[in-house]
Structure 1
Amino acid sequence: MAICVYCNKEKDTDEMTQEHVIPKAIGGNLFPTNPFSLDRVCKRCNNLCGAYIDGPFIKNWLTSNVKSSEIAKYADISRHPILPLSYFGILDDIKFGDKICEMWLGPTGDTIYHFHEPYPEIDDISPMVGIPTYAKQKDVDPGFSFLFVRSNNPAWHKTIIFSFVEQFKKI
């Protein structure tokens, strides 16, 4: 038995998870020792933190797009890395039935159109880039996407495709 540092409730040891106080997505995954992690956080509290605290920050439009523009400057394209995409928002003039269209840009300015049913919204949580962290899988329509590759440099093609597939792997 252990006491969760967030909810202060006693839980079985197998219910405890590692909480990254500074999320991995913004550099909190230090190796071999991560001073920004806690071992005594129950699964429920850890999931709630991810859905309502870490997620909205990490999936914020500004955070997401700065990360995608900065990481491309340092990527070794010969290793075909997966790079984050830039989110541009919903295109109100383009629809397919009840599906909305979101526009993304790939690593070399490649245009991506993602059609899907609107994600569920919660009034007091700001919009997020991509699938909201609080959305249940059964409520998410993966939709379909179109990728228009911009680069005519074959050295970039695998990185573009790998990055696209990683972002839209559920489609």
Structure 2
Amino acid sequence: MRPCIYCRKPFPDNQFTLEHVIPQFLGGAQAPDELKTRDVCSTCNNNLGLFVDAAFEKDFLVYNELKESAYKFFDPEKPVALPLICMGISDLKPPNMQEDEICESWLGPLGEQIYWIRPKDERMYWYSGGNPRTVKKVQSRAYFMFSERSQKNVLISWLAFKDAFIDRRVKKIMCTRVEGADLKTIGFSDPDEIDNLRIQYITNKCREGKERNNNISMYIYHDRRFMAKLALGISHVLFGSKIGNSGYGEELHKALWFKEGNAEPNVRYLGAFSNSNNLLKEHSGIAGGVTITILPIYEEVIINLNLNKKMNWMVVCTKLKYLTKEQIEKLGDGICIVLFKSLNKGLRLTLPELINHNLGNLQNSDLAAIEQIYNAHMDYFKDL
């Protein structure tokens, strides 16, 4: 029997599962093996994945920033399916919508419009795409429309439509006329009576040319529990279980399991909207990538999470007094893990190496090669 690093309850070995300390939606599968562990029970792996990781990933701004990175590395010579971009809850009210349903608006890579009528969940009101469990179990319907720009490269639209909602129980219906291709080969269904009414409603509304209004829901504390979890996981794999049981580790556990009404945990943390981390936002990230920096500073070790040099979070993961001399020396001037999920690549370098590369003082060959891919087609969609 040994304890889970998150809930701290003891379990037999067969109750533990592989945990990517850096979640896979950030590219954690490409992280070094030392940032993966089997000290997490299956219950925490599942529940924290839904209520902590997904709460962060499905935040409107985070979700769309992560999806945007896939567009930056798109190669028109080797086209792949690009993800849809969530635009929030539409003001459209298609026929036969139930009170417990909403109409969510999405955009395709070339401006295609998609309206997804899905279950509403007040508990997870800010999740782009809704409750991940519900949408996998409950049948819903999505209505697709090509755009004029789709004619520039129909294959891009076709691939995006093929992979849209692929892991959910969604009946996909086409609203625009398609000739010479079988939509059923990419998962579309024939419309029934309800679908025909909705197709007519949606196409009429879109032809009106009126301004449409979408609502975006946000939860300002969506990131606090996630950053506490990241801090606990990274400090465990790098510094050992004693960190989670320290005085500061206790505060991180309180933050991870925080519920409204609880006493505020004493965790040093800066969110994405703080003006205090603009320097880190600019210099500790890379365009198109996710960067995790572990940095000793003063009497603490901080973890900095940077998305695409546009969004930045920081949390203290432990105090230097809890570490051995060897552990402190191993951190050096800071460790950076740079992940590119869409390229299936991950790099490890020091913070000075990353900063010097960003400042143009000393080029890192691996980063330069990735930036060359990034820059090759960065204006493709703008110019199409």
Q: TM-score, normalised by structure 1?
A: 0.81
- Bigger mean CA deviation after superposition, 7-16 or 57-66: 7-16
Q: 1:147 aligns with which of 134, 144, 147?
A: 144
1:73-152 → structure 2 map (5 Å cutoff): 73-97=72-96, 98=98, 99-118=101-120, 120-122=121-123, 127-133=126-132, 135-136=133-134, 141-150=138-147, 151-152=150-151
* CA offset digits 1:76-131 (Å, max 9, x no partner): 2444423221111111332332142111001221110111232x222xx6611113
**1:64·1:129 contact (CA, 8 Å) conserved in 2?**
yes
Aligned partner of residue 39 in structure 2, secondary structure? strand
Which residue in 1 is equivalent to 2:164? Answer: 164
**1:77·1:155 contact (CA, 8 Å) conserved in 2?**
no
**How far off is 1:136 after superposition?**
4.7
Question: 4+ residue stretches of structure 1 with deviation over 6 A?
Answer: none
Which residue in 1 is equivalent to 2:186? Answer: none
**2:117·2:142 contact (CA, 8 Å) conserved in 1?**
yes
Structure 1 unaligned regions, length at least 5: none
Aligned partner of residue 56 in structure 1, secondary structure? helix
**What is the alpha-carbon root mean square deviation over aligned residues?**
2.4
- Bigger mean CA deviation after superposition, 144-153 or 69-78: 69-78
User: Where is the helix percentage greater, Structure 1 or Structure 2?
Assistant: 2
Aligned partner of residue 56 in structure 2, secondary structure? helix
1:93 and 1:103 mapped to 2: Cα distance? 9
Query: Which one has the largest radius of gyration?
Result: 2
**How far off is 1:142 after superposition?**
3.1
**How far off is 1:49 after superposition?**
1.5
* CA offset digits 1:4-59 (Å, max 9, x no partner): 1222222122210112221111121226x433222110011112211221111111
**How far off is 1:156 after superposition?**
1.6
1:96 and 1:78 mapped to 2: Cα distance? 41
Aligned partner of residue 105 in structure 2, secondary structure? strand
2:33 and 2:146 mapped to 1: Cα distance? 38
**1:87·1:105 contact (CA, 8 Å) conserved in 2?**
yes
**1:28·1:34 contact (CA, 8 Å) conserved in 2?**
no
Q: AA paired with 2:2? A: A
Aligned partner of residue 128 in structure 2, secondary structure? coil
1:94 and 1:137 mapped to 2: Cα distance? 20
Aligned partner of residue 67 in structure 1, secondary structure? helix
Identity among equivalent pairs (%): 29
**How far off is 1:163 after superposition?**
3.2
**1:71·1:83 contact (CA, 8 Å) conserved in 2?**
yes
1:57 and 1:95 mapped to 2: Cα distance? 30
Q: AA paired with 2:57? A: I
2:117 and 2:134 mapped to 1: Cα distance? 18
Q: AA paired with 2:47? A: L
**How far off is 1:137 after superposition?**
6.2
Give the length in aligned residue pairs.
164
**How far off is 1:165 after superposition?**
4.8
1:89 and 1:165 mapped to 2: Cα distance? 16
Q: TM-score, normalised by structure 2?
A: 0.39
**Larger relative CO (CA 8 A, sep 6+): 1 or 2?**
1
